[in-house]
Amino acid sequence: MTRFARYGAALLLLTASAAAQDQPIRIDVDLVNILFTVKAKKGGALIPNLEKNNFTIEEDGKPQTIQRFSRETDLPLTLGLLIDISASQERLIDVERQAASAFFSSVIRQKDEAFLISFGKSTDLLQDYTNSPRRLSAALRDLRGDGPGAVGIGPIPNSGPVPTIGTPKGTLLFDAIYLASDEKLKTEVGRKALILITDGQDQGSTYDRRAAIEAAQRSDAVVYSIYYVDHGFYSGGGISFGGGNEGDLKKISEETGGHVFSVSRKHPLDEIFKQIQDELRSQYSIGYSSTNTKRDGSFRHIEIKTDNDDYRVQARAGYYATKNDVR
């Protein structure tokens, strides 16, 4: 399905939603749209059935009027899966391949699209946009670790040369997020999400964490991070010398409205994919016209609150007020 066809489908769904709620239908290019989820503070259970009057929203501390509200369970989903294939993750790839294949089969519908990127010493687009779980599973079978002697299968188109002099390449985590957001998701419409499977280590990226977060925010993408560590790799002769970097993943996900999930014996990878699937199907959307009409490129902080102190809102931290980022 083309980008324009997907946009038309999204508008039809918005129209139907508005009509069902007896709301006037307005397409406002200056409307700020925020996707978010609500969870119980204790236990983290998803809260899926709240209404517009249960929420308030502030921008830079100033109250805003909610003009559009819906529970976004049926808008087209654009999804990118980014898998770490660096040396520290090689022994986990088989498990990742199986769990991701089952996830795509459960989540991707006819009107949705997904792409697959691997990252290590380079960022490689293994599968471009498709709504075929079969193609995505086939691409997953091509996953190979890029340890010593491994060869990548090609960079993301138009990503340009990446300086390497004096910078050892190991795990281009921040580059992968930046390129997926800026080159794949920024021009898409509807619901957008990136899922990372990594131990959080970055080595040699051209872009830093802040740039990766900004790119994701500008593309309206929610980032879900799956923190998956091969503890055996980080132990030499029984002496531990590391174990990933969950802090960067937490910062990236929280700033974009996502969440970090940690793989463990109690929480295996396939269970975490199921949790992400549930979150994607339990999202809300708020749209408002900012009382600050300047489009000066500044970052506007957003805070969404509910009328129940036992709930917490999981939403991106804000948006950049430019003509391209407000829609």
What's the confidence (pLDDT) of residue 148?
57
What pLDDT digit, counting tens, does each position of 121-171 carry?
Answer: 999 999 999 999 999 999 999 898 886 544 333 444 444 433 434 455 679
d(CA 104, CA 101) in angstroms, rounded, equals: 5
What pLDDT digit, counting tens, does each position of 170-220 carry?
Answer: 799 999 999 999 999 999 988 999 999 999 999 999 999 999 999 999 999
Task: Give the other-Cβ count within 10 Å of 325's Cβ.
Answer: 18
More confident residue, 142 or 57: 57
Bridge partner list, 260? 225
What's the confidence (pLDDT) of residue 178?
98
Q: Output the six-digit token pair for 90.
A: 């090689």
What pLDDT digit, counting tens, does each position of 223-279 carry?
Answer: 999 999 887 776 654 434 455 689 999 999 999 999 999 999 999 999 999 999 999
Q: Which domains does the chain have, with CATH numbers?
A: 23-73+282-320 (2.60.40), 77-271 (3.40.50.410)
What's the confidence (pLDDT) of residue 286?
94
Predicted confidence band of residue 21 (pLDDT cuts 50, 70, 90) = very low
Judged by phi (left if over 0) then psi (alpha if -120 to 50, else beta), residue 166 lies in left
Percent share of the chain, pLDDT over 90: 69
Residue 69 has pLDDT above 80, yes or no: yes
Q: How many helices (H) and strands (E) does the chain have?
A: 7, 16
d(CA 77, CA 242) in angstroms, rounded, equals: 36
The answer to whether 299 and 319 have CB atoms below 8 angstroms apart is yes
What is the chain's mean pLDDT, rounded?
A: 84
Residue listed under structure tokens 């809260």: 47
Task: Please give the average per-residue pLDDT across 306-321, as a whole number.
Answer: 96
E strand or H helix that includes residue 105: helix 93-107
d(CA 290, CA 32) in angstroms, rounded, equals: 7
